[in-house]
A and B are shown apart, each in its own frame.
Chain A
Amino acid sequence: DGGITQSPKYLFRKEGQNVTLSCEQNLNHDAMYWYRQDPGQGLRLIYYSQIVNDFQKGDIAEGYSVSREKKESFPLTVTSAQKNPTAFYLCASSIDERGTTNEKLFFGSGTQLSVL
């Protein structure tokens, strides 16, 4: 089955530590996204990538980094510079088709990151 796989489901970070969240898709989608969700809040865009080797900052990119070396993979690193990383992180992908339901976002099941 095609879809988006996020791992791990739960992740704990120590002070000063960098951690990487994995996101893999087999939908052959060009665009991939990382969102952060705080309790009771909506989704805020961290980074997105429209094609391999290219990515753009979203609204809250500070303290995060990404790479897009392969079409299928878009890992997110939460660096020690992110002082409040505790949140639910969602990875998503989409095709670049407009005007139909096909342009919708497909989501992974999320990673809950907590600080020890």
Chain B
Amino acid sequence: AQKITQTQPGMFVQEKEAVTLDCTYDTSDPSYGLFWYKQPSSGEMIFLIYQGSYDQQNATEGRYSLNFQKARKSANLVISASQLGDSAMYFCAMREGRAGNQFYFGTGTSLTVIP
């Protein structure tokens, strides 16, 4: 089974609007970390936000917030007030707490911000 599932291959959003990128995960480990990365066309991977499985509150970093629903095993990324520079690929990832150190990535969502 896929550890990370991103079901939206492509998304469009109007500039200054908010957008939600979906991510569901699969793990039986009670301890895990969830991550979102942005990959512009240049190819670099930019870390956006982190959510720990024991964190009580949803993580926020500037215009980015993570809608963490533990029972549903979802970790959706919300980008508020979209900007043209937000156009990129977005990847959700998970790292389980047990030994092994593997990070699992989803297939990504391509976001296009429309002026």
Q: Which residues of chain A have a CB within 8 Å of any CB of chain B? A: 31, 33, 35, 40-45, 48, 50, 58, 88, 90, 92, 94, 96, 98-101, 103-107, 109-110, 112
Contact = CB atoms under 8 A, between A and B. Distances in A.
20 contacts: A31-B101, A40-B110, A41-B108, A42-B106, A42-B107, A43-B91, A45-B102, A45-B103, A48-B101, A48-B102, A90-B43, A98-B31, A98-B95, A98-B97, A100-B52, A103-B33, A104-B47, A106-B47, A107-B37, A109-B44
Contact of B35 (A44, A50, A98, A104): A104
A41 B84 CA distance: 23
A33 B103 contact: yes
Contacts of B54: 99
B50 interface: yes
Which of B33, B45, B95 gathers the greatest number of chain A CB atoms within 10 Å? Answer: B45
9 interchain residue pairs of minimum CB distance: A107-B45, A101-B50, A42-B107, A43-B105, A110-B43, A42-B105, A104-B47, A109-B44, A99-B52
Contacts of A48: 101-102
Nearest to B48: A104
Given A90-B43, A100-B50, A105-B47, 11 more contacts: A41-B108, A42-B108, A90-B45, A98-B31, A98-B97, A100-B52, A104-B35, A105-B93, A105-B103, A110-B43, A112-B43
B44 A107 contact: yes
A43 B54 CA distance: 26
Interface string B45-77: 101001010100000000000000000000000
Contacts, number: 64
A34 to B, nearest CB: 12
A61 to B, nearest CB: 13
B35 A105 contact: yes
Given A42-B91, A42-B106, A104-B50, A96 B101 contact: yes
Contacts of B101: 31, 48, 50, 94, 96
